[in-house]
A and B are shown apart, each in its own frame.
Chain A
Amino acid sequence: MRMLVRFSKENDLRFISHLDMVHAMERALRRADIPMAYSKGFSPHAKISFSAPTPLGIPSSAEYMDVHLVKPLSAQIFVQRLNNALPNDMRVLEAMEIDDDVPGVLGKATIGCYTIQPYEGVQWISQSHINVLMNMNDIIMEKRTKKGLKEINIRPCIKELILMQDGQHITAKLLLPSVGGINPDILLKAFNIYTDVRIDVEDMAIHKDDILLEDGRVLLPE
Chain B
Amino acid sequence: MRNRNIDKILLSVEKPARYIGNEYNAVHKNLASVEVRFAFAFPDVYDIGMSHLGIRILYDILNKRDDTFCERVFAPWVDMEQQMRRHEIPLFALESGDNIADFDMLGFTLQYEMSYTNVLNMLDLAGIPIWSKERTNRHPFVLAGGPCAYNPEPLADIIDFFLIGDGEEAINEIVDCYKTWKYSGDTDRQNFLKHVASIEGVYVPSLYEVSYNDDGTINAITPKIDSLPHIIRKRVVTNLSSAAYPERPIVPYIDIVHDRAVLEIFRGCTRGCRFCQAGMVYRPIRERSADRLVELADKLVRATGYSEMSLSSLSTGDYSQLEQLVKILLEKFQEEKVALSLPSLRLDSIDKSLLERIQSVKKTGLTFAPEAATQRLRDVINKGITDDDILRTVEYAFQQGWQSVKLYFMIGLPTETDDDLYGIAEMARRILDVYYSIPKDQRGRHIDITVSTSSFVPKPFTPFQWDPQDKIDRLSYKQHLLQQQLRMKHVTYHWSDNRLSFMEAVFARGDRRLGRVLAAALANGCRFDAWTDYFNYDGWLKAFEQCSINPEFYAGRVRSYDEVLPWDHINAGVSKDFLIRERERALKGKTTFDCRRACIKCGIERWEGVCDNANAGTL
Contact = CB atoms under 8 A, between A and B. Distances in A.
A27 B251 contact: yes
A20 B22 contact: no
A26 B305 contact: yes
Given A31-B304, A43-B362, A20 B24 contact: no
Contacts of B254: 16-17, 20
Contacts of B19: 15
Contacts, number: 65
B20 A12 contact: yes
Interface in B318-338: 336-337
A148 interface: no
A30 interface: yes
Contacts of A176: none
A15 B305 contact: no
Interface string A7-50: 00000110111001101101111110000001000111000000
Nearest to B20: A12
A20 B305 contact: no
A56 B16 contact: yes
B20 A38 contact: no
B253 interface: yes
Contact of A28 (B11, B16, B20, B305): B305
A89 interface: yes
B11 to A, nearest CB: 5
A141 interface: no
B339 interface: yes
Nearest to A25: B305
- Which range holds the interface residue count of chain A? 20 to 34
Interface residues of chain A: helix, strand, loop or mixed (majority): helix
Contacts of B253: 13, 16, 20-21, 23-24
Contact of A202 (B11, B17, B306, B362): B11
Contacts of A57: 10-11
Interface string B330-360: 0000001101000000000000000000000
B338 to A, nearest CB: 9
A13 B21 CA distance: 10
A16 B362 contact: no
B24 A27 contact: yes
Contacts of A38: 337
A87 B11 contact: no
A44 B338 CA distance: 10
B307 interface: yes
A15 B303 contact: no
B218 to A, nearest CB: 49
Interface in B355-391: 362-363
Contact of B8 (A20, A29, A44, A202): A202
A85 B302 CA distance: 10
B570 to A, nearest CB: 42
Nearest to A55: B11
A42 B254 CA distance: 24
Given A38-B337, A42-B362, A42-B363, A27 B22 contact: no
Contact of A27 (B10, B11, B255, B306): B306
A110 to B, nearest CB: 26
Nearest to B8: A202
B305 A87 contact: no
A185 B542 CA distance: 46
A85 B251 CA distance: 12
A31 B302 contact: yes
Contacts of A26: 305, 307
A56 B11 contact: yes
A31 B22 contact: no
Given A13-B253, A30-B301, A57-B11, 16 more contacts: A12-B22, A13-B22, A16-B253, A20-B254, A23-B253, A23-B255, A24-B253, A26-B307, A27-B24, A27-B306, A28-B305, A29-B305, A30-B336, A44-B337, A57-B10, A85-B305
26 contacts: A12-B20, A15-B11, A15-B16, A15-B19, A15-B20, A16-B17, A16-B20, A16-B253, A16-B254, A17-B254, A20-B17, A20-B253, A24-B24, A24-B251, A24-B253, A28-B305, A30-B306, A30-B307, A30-B336, A31-B303, A31-B305, A42-B362, A42-B363, A85-B305, A87-B24, A202-B11
